[in-house]
Amino acid sequence: MSIGEELVRICLDLLRFRLRWEVVFSRAGLLVFLWSWQGALAAAPAFVDLPAVMELAGANNDEVKLARLKHSETLIEERMAWQRFWPSFSLGTAFRGHDGRVQDIAGLVFDASKRQYSLGTEILLDWAPGHLYFSALAAKQSALAAGHLAESARRDIVLEAVRRYYRLLTAEVELAILEEDLQLVREYGRQLHGAVDAGTAFRTDELRVELEVSRQERRLRESAEARDLAAAALAETLRVPPETELRPAKIDLLPVRLIAPLDDSTHLAEAARNRPEMHAAAATREAAELERDRARLAPVIPNVRGGYTFGGLAGGITGNPGNLGDSNDYFMGFGWKVGPGGLFDKQSRKLAETRRDAATLQAGEVRASIGREVVEASARSRSARDRITLSEKSVTAAGQMATLARERQASQVGVVLEYLLARELLTEAKQNRARAVTEYNTAQHELRVALGR
């Protein structure tokens, strides 16, 4: 049994296993289950499919986790901004004593020795309503922007995992193509060897076939190396142990259309509505606008200061502390701050306006970058689709040429070199078709991400 047939058998067994246990295990759970049995199975390859790769990449990557932590941080900052509207409370006790000279309210100075004890609660209110309100609104917009950026980071990592998965799948398909071609050439060499022994073929032709077998074996080894490198790159994106031998659950490549072919203007409008980067840029600009309003309007709104202390107070002349009794103090005031951060602070307003303008320019840069991504992905998708059609024609023509060359050589009309050249062209055509399908599927995923779907 060939390696390609063995891979197909293993894939079919894996698919049957997954269907049987799909209710119990998710895709990610199945992959973890397979990894846990790697040692028992003597480091058997772990087979993955595209949905499992996308799920693991979006949940297990450090960059995604870091972006989510940043979002959590901004959410906490938003809650803290709103909590600043609440007054502060304090509860405690105090002791105060004095010995020596003291001056009374009338100006008389005399000796005194006294003690004072207090126990109670204090409520303090120090509001700058304008600053607090606009700062809380700006923090909310910053949290929204961080959430959209976290989603953008997840999409980017998933897209990178998709690209690497398709590279692995393409390397596996090319390896199977080379194995099939090598088997046919070897079989042809054995038949030619019999013809040489019978005296109906030349030894030169047999040596030419042996040379072709050696060349195919070298290409096969290079293709296996490319497959292993692609698996290592995918393992890095999925954050699995680097020694894990990842293999695609299927080794066939079929073009999958995810996005209907529409004009670029329609796609650009959809991307502007859906892309999380656009939402993040809009939220960042709104936060900068609110900071500008804070610098302009908040100083006009008066600050509020107030406090209320209640509890018990005791004390008196040393040796006669007196009786503990109720004590209440309260105050309230309004005012405006003049200077930096307050009235007539032109520099703070200019700084806020500059940041607002910078956020507007950054939003324009994001829009331009998204437009380029949409147009490039659409162009690559159309080009890859056309190349698939051309490659299929090449495969058909090369296959017919190889068949005719084999027939001509069998009838002693053709030459061995003609057949080997036809086989080489057929193998190259199959590889080009596999690469075109990979590029088309990758471009479809890139276009989907570019549109914000």
User: Does any domain span residue 412?
Assistant: yes
CB 158 within 8 A of CB 63: no
Query: Rounded CA gap, 304 and 442, in Å?
Result: 60
Alpha carbon of residue 326 to chain centroid: 62
pLDDT reported for residue 410:
66
The boundaries of the domain holding residue 39 are: 3-86+129-301+338-450
Phi and psi for 340 in degrees, rounded to 5? Answer: -55, 125
User: Does any domain span residue 95?
Assistant: no
CATH of the domain at 286: 1.20.1600.10
User: Does any domain span residue 229?
Assistant: yes
Model confidence, pTM: 0.72
Phi and psi for 301 in degrees, rounded to 5? Answer: -80, 125
Q: Which residues of the chain have pLDDT under 50?
A: 1-8, 10-12, 14-42, 413
User: Does any domain span residue 121?
Assistant: no
pLDDT reported for residue 322:
62
Q: What is the pLDDT of residues 63-104, one digit of tens each?
A: 777 777 888 888 888 888 888 778 777 887 888 888 888 888
With vertex at residue 276, the alpha carbon angle to CA 272 and CA 280, rounded to the nearest 5 degrees, is 100
User: Does any domain span residue 425?
Assistant: yes
pLDDT reported for residue 41:
38
Helix axes of 264-274 and 346-410: crossing angle, nearest 10 degrees:
130
pLDDT reported for residue 318:
66
User: Does any domain span residue 91?
Assistant: no
User: Does any domain span residue 204?
Assistant: yes
Give the alpha-carbon dihedral of 337, 338, 343, 344, to 10 degrees: -170
Phi and psi for 316 in degrees, rounded to 5? Answer: 155, -160
**Sign of the CA dihedral 346, 348, 350, 352?**
negative
pLDDT reported for residue 412:
59
User: Does any domain span residue 115?
Assistant: no
Across-strand partners of 85? none
pLDDT reported for residue 321:
61
Total of domains in the chain:
1
Phi and psi for 5 in degrees, rounded to 5? Answer: -65, -35
With vertex at residue 19, the alpha carbon angle to CA 16 and CA 20, rounded to the nearest 5 degrees, is 85
CB count in 10 Å sphere of residue 162: 23
pLDDT reported for residue 304:
86
153-159 long-range contacts, Cβ below 8 Å, gap at least 24? 153/63, 153/64, 153/66, 153/67, 154/58, 154/64, 154/67, 155/276, 155/449, 156/449, 157/57, 157/58, 157/61, 157/63, 157/64, 157/237, 158/54, 158/57, 158/58, 158/449, 159/445, 159/446, 159/449
pLDDT reported for residue 282:
92
